[in-house]
A and B are shown apart, each in its own frame.
Chain A
Amino acid sequence: MKEQISEGSLSEEEEIYRENILDHYRNPRNKEKPESCSFQHLEHNPVCGDRIELFVKLSGSRVEESSFLGEGCAISQASASMLTDKIKGMPVSELQDMAKEDVLDMLGISIGIVRLKCAMLSLKALHKGLEQYTENNRKKQ
């Protein structure tokens, strides 16, 4: 039964985990609080203690800067790092269309139903922040 714990090389998924997710987890991109931003949103999952605060700065109709602060598991933190990278330069109109699948593609591993919440925390922060921002703008007009 000892063959159970693979002794030699990592499986393909484990390799992705290591290179993709753990790299973003250990060296998160865009992990900072900006001086100013167009909107920000904090999402918190009390069940596992994951926290993501997302900041987005718009310039005209595009995302100029995006960053985050947070703590939690590798999946939640890596997906925030990847997401903030991905949306830079993106037209605002496309932010709303960012979907679950986009995040899963970036992560590159299969995520079980239980951990989907961890993976989607930053996307949820983005969508909620954007919604609030749009709402506020509408009120102002």
Chain B
Amino acid sequence: MSKGNSKRGVTRRPSKNSSGDLEFVQLLTPQGEPIKHPDYSVNFTDEEYRALYRDMVIVRRLDAESLSLQRQGELALWASLLGQEAAQVGSARALREKDMVFPTYREHGVLWCRGLDPILPLKLFRCVNQGSWDPESHRFHMYTIVIGAHALHAVGYAMGVTKDGKVGSDDGEAVIVYFGDGASSQGDVAEAMSWAAVFNAPVVFFCQNNQYAISEPVERQARIPIYQRARGFGFPGIRVDGNDVLASYAVTRAALDAARHGQGPTLIEAYTYRMGAHTSSDDPTRYRVDAEVEAWKAKDPISRMRAFLTQQQIAGPDFFEAIDEEADKHAIELRERVLAMPDPEPVSMFDHVYPGGSPLLDDERAELVRYLESFESEGVR
């Protein structure tokens, strides 16, 4: 591991611009002031600005409720999106209905924007099923827990889009795959990028660099900014302020449009921060300091949007209060539905192993049924 090898043109740390901020596309400062960018802009109505805020507040509230359900023993695990609302909502709202999404296990905000029932990930994390929603119904694939594997699925899907003649015009379709900074080290992700480049696949690689893969800081995965890797594969890479919902939207929108028009893949690195633990099983005090977390709090995606809406007089206290109330309502409903969620029938474990079933599984199912019935006839041992 060489150190400080600037003579090869490699910087070990992300470069800083004059304002001391990282170089990335930003349209809203942490204080909520709009700033101009030469290449990216948004053109929202007031209504649309408010809708982005609403999405972020609701997904944060649902996330908090899910975490508390986990703490109360109702979920086995929860992977919180806290801090990543802007990256997820901004990118997801840039999608068109027929675009296809391949998420990891943390994209509850994207799931919300795609219009799926927010209870679905809680079924997975309660361990009543393994994420069994229909990927086509909302053009949102199942969650993938095996890090990086789905990047290849996204590229293959995008190759299929091309084969179907669905790229090359404004009517074209695009595919987006979400993954983390840690995932960027996986062979599958590197292979996905090679394939995407070679086949000019209409795919957007959306990497949420939340600075950590469990305990490992991003320096354990990459010695250059992640977005710069794209160049080596032969397509553009760009870094966006992932805590800026407007910039996340604009950059993703442009990349999706390039893909649907036949201009091939883009890698977007959304520079953000995992404000909570990796999952409910994790203890981040073992590997990061409070000061770091505090510094990122000042860049919070929701308060910045709120400041913007206030300063621009797009929304006021009444609106914010109403959204908070609405979010609470969603959270209460979510909780009630989790508490009422039945366990699956044990024999359902034999369903769907094969499309047509199998004689072996029929025998094993019968064996389990006999076994369970034996308790009824005998009384429990």
A and B: bona fide binding partners:
no
